[in-house]
Structures are given as structure tokens and as C-alpha cells.
Amino acid sequence: MSRTQGNTRRHAGLIVRLAAMAVAMFGFGYLLVPLYDIFCEITGIGGRVNDEPASLAQLSGTPVDPDRRITVEFVASVNQQAPWEFRPNVVTMEVVPGELYNTAYFARNLTERGLVGTAVPSVSPGEAARHFLKIECFCFTEQAFAASEGRDMDVMFIVDPALPAHLDRVTLSYTFIETPRAAAAGNAR
């Protein structure tokens, strides 16, 4: 076998290994989000909350703990380059576990074109996430905004009395992001 044939064979083997590695990396990237979701669900870390709001009927039997007070902090964030004004209407609220509360976040499109945004929630500490029950929420729902439009977006929630006793402060944080469908918003509402 000549030296050229040996080099060709080694190059072909290298190309096959590189292609297999690229396919494996793509597969890992594709599975990363579902694997992270499963990991957060199993461990309770990450403050991930249910994207399905609870109904009032489901919570009608929730007991009230009138002797306990929980401070709920509301936080809002956007990407540095994001064309949004986004903030909670109140920064903190003292709540009684088991009682229903309402608040809102304000969002404004800072551009002269229509945009679509989505809010991604997080509750911390992570072990409190399963005890923060949202009945009404704007999260995970595309919100279409006309040029320069601003509006309040409601959140209705209950802190479950089963929240561990050592927790007296819970933070509800939303990150508001522009969705890829922003260009389609053109003349939104």
C-alpha cells in the first residue's frame, strides 16, 4: 500500500469520527432541555414552576394558615438588549398561606414596531416552587404588543400552607423575552 493510500484511509477514518461526534453533540444538545426539565422535577431545584395554572375549583379546599406570614418578593428581568420595559407593580407582599392574592407585572414595548414576548417564571428557593400555586398567569403565553404599547399582566396565586416551616420568604421572578415570532406581530393589538 502506498503512502497516499494510507493517508487517504486515515483521513477517511478521521472524517467518520468527526461526523459521528457532530451527530452525538447535536443529539446531546437536542436532549439537553428535556433532560434538564426531568432533573429539576426530580430534585426540586431550579425553581421551575408548573406551566399549567391551577384552577380555583382545584384549590377550593386549600386550608388557610392565619397564624403564618410569608413574604413574597416579585422580580422582573429582561435581556440587556431586549426592547422591553418590564417590572412588577409591587416589589413585596406579605401573604397568609392558603389565601388568594392578585398582583400584576407591567410590560411596555419600547420600539416603534409590533413585538411578541413571553415570560418565563422561576420561584426560589427551589423547594418553594411546588408550593407556589398560580391560578392566573401570563407566563409561557405569547404576549403581542403594538408599537410602544404597555399594559399590566395579572398574576393570581396562593402560597400552599404545606410550604416548609423554615421558609418565610419566596421570590417569584419572571424573565421577559422577545419571541422569534416578533416580526409577525407587526400590527398587533
Convert the pLDDT of each residue in 62-73 to its tens digit. Answer: 688 889 999 999
* Residue 16: band (very low, low, confident or very high) from pLDDT cuts 50, 70, 90: confident
* CA dist., res. 21 & res. 56, Å (int): 50
* CA dist., res. 39 & res. 2, Å (int): 53
The pLDDT value recorded for residue 57 is 46
**Apex 182 CA angle, 177 and 186, nearest 5:** 140
* Residue 188: band (very low, low, confident or very high) from pLDDT cuts 50, 70, 90: very low
Q: Which residue has the cell 431586549?
A: 82
- pLDDT, tens only, 24-39: 787 777 666 666 666 5
- DSSP string of 154-187? EEEEEE-TTS-TT--EEEEEEEEEE-GGGGGGTT
